[in-house]
């Protein structure tokens, strides 16, 4: 093969590049002017969410017959990366809708469920994915939320914590156990609508980062769920959760490389302008070496994320690659955003420049959708079979 015909994995097709550029442009024009205010008020601008739907960003993989864009998983990853370059809190709204919720409906939903919910998910209604509880974080299947068969309906009781997008969501995938004696084999996924009897939104968390993205408690007190609102099979919710989160980890990896690139580019621009000892600090070898290392690690993280997404779209196994992508991208994001603050100096520690927000936003990458330690456990299981 001629060397000139070999393209690195980071090269995008023309359609992919146009899509990425259009989302980045939208983020620059519509999100960036409001990012700081949304962060300070811990509230996403409802108009931005509405525009996500209008742009087709909330149903990227959803078939056209249900009102979606009917493209692929990789496009969803590009959207998350492009939005995260400006505001990771906005990106997580698109991420959860596509990589978690829509994927779960597409894979596990009956034809009736798909016809009922996918058109709304692609066009108007934000959704949320409710797995975590106070005592079931990394031990995701130690659920206390219970579901009881009442004949004509299921009754759900319990609480969910740290649920992303909960304040604005109208549709929730809620995991509960129908038979605790069976352990995780009793876990079942239920579709709960915001106005169902016995369902309410509890405390909204005051967070370190991605503050404009809501994170809330869900309260289920005798919540009545129609029998047909089981997503998948009764007792198979654990399988739906595992497989969906494997995909979701790639989305978090995309969020991390997007925000890391945003912080990196801001830093490169700043060091070319900031002068010390009569010349820009970009001319000092110490600064150059740090930026060179950061650029190399960022490129490696992007390769991992893109590769995992490509494998998923191609129908190949990607569990190990997804865990590697999330683990490494979240580590790189923390390192680069910390370096950004160092090179900005005193300004980096203020809110006048964007790097302190990138720094705060990066921390969640090592925690949600599987901590870094859980990713290492997953990787070890795959390489030591």
Strand partners, 127: 171
How is 122-165 classified by DSSP, letter by letter?
A: HHT--EEEE--BTTBSSSTT----EEEE-SSEEEEEEEEEEEET
The question of whether 293 is a catalytic residue gets the answer no
Tokens of 74: 């990789």
* CA neighbor of 326 nearest in space, from 380, 272, 268, 374: 374
Contact (Cβ atoms closer than 8 angstroms) between residue 74 and residue 12: no
Helices in 191-284 by DSSP H: which ranges?
A: 237-273
- 167 touches 216 (CB < 8 A): yes
Q: What is the separation of C-alpha 140 from the centre of its chain, rounded to a whole number of angstroms?
A: 17
Instruction: Tell me how far CA of residue 178 lies from CA of 27, 181, 220, 305, in angstroms.
Output: 43, 9, 14, 36
Return the closest-CA partner of residue 132 out of 246, 241, 231. Answer: 241
- Rounded to an integer, what distance in angstroms lies between the CA atom of residue 51 and that of residue 27? 11
Catalytically annotated residue among 61, 155, 321, 369: 369
Q: Label the pairing between strands 171-177 and 127-130.
A: parallel
Q: Give the catalytic positions in this structure.
A: 369
């Amino acid at each position: 093969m001629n060397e000139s015909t070999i393209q690195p994995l980071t090269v995008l097709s023309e359609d992919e590049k146009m899509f990425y550029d259009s989302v980045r442009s939208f983020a620059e024009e519509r999100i960036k002017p409001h990012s700081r205010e949304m962060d300070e008020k811990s509230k996403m601008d409802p108009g931005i969410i509405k525009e996500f739907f209008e742009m087709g960003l909330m149903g990227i993989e959803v078939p056209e017959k249900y009102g979606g864009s009917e493209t692929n998983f990789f496009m969803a990853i590009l959207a998350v990366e492009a939005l995260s370059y400006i505001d990771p809190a906005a990106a997580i709204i698109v991420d959860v809708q596509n990589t978690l919720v829509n994927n779960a409906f597409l894979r596990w939903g009956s034809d009736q469920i798909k016809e009922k919910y996918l058109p709304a998910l692609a066009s108007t209604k934000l959704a949320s994915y409710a797995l975590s509880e106070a005592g079931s974080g990394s031990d995701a299947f130690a659920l206390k939320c219970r579901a009881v068969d009442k004949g004509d309906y299921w009754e759900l009781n319990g609480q969910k914590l740290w649920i992303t997008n909960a304040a604005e969501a109208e549709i929730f995938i809620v995991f509960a156990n129908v038979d605790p004696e069976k352990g995780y084999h009793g876990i079942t996924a239920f579709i709960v609508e915001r106005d169902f009897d016995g369902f309410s939104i509890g405390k909204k968390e005051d967070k370190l980062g991605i503050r404009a993205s809501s994170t809330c408690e869900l309260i289920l007190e005798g919540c009545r769920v129609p029998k047909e609102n089981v997503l998948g099979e009764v007792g198979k919710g654990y399988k739906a959760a595992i497989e969906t989160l494997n995909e979701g980890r790639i989305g978090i990896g995309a969020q991390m490389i997007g925000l890391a690139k945003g912080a990196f580019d801001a830093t490169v621009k700043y060091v070319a302008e900031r002068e010390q000892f009569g010349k820009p600090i970009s001319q000092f070898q110490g600064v150059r070496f740090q930026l060179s290392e950061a650029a190399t690690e960022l490129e490696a993280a992007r390769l991992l994320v893109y590769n995992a997404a490509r494998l998923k779209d191609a129908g190949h196994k990607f569990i190990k690659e997804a865990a590697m992508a999330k683990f490494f991208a979240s580590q790189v994001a923390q390192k680069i955003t910390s370096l950004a603050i160092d090179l900005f100096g005193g300004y980096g520690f203020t809110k006048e420049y964007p790097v302190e927000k990138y720094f705060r936003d990066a921390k969640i990458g090592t925690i949600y959708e599987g901590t870094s330690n859980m990713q290492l456990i997953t990787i070890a299981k795959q390489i030591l079979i």
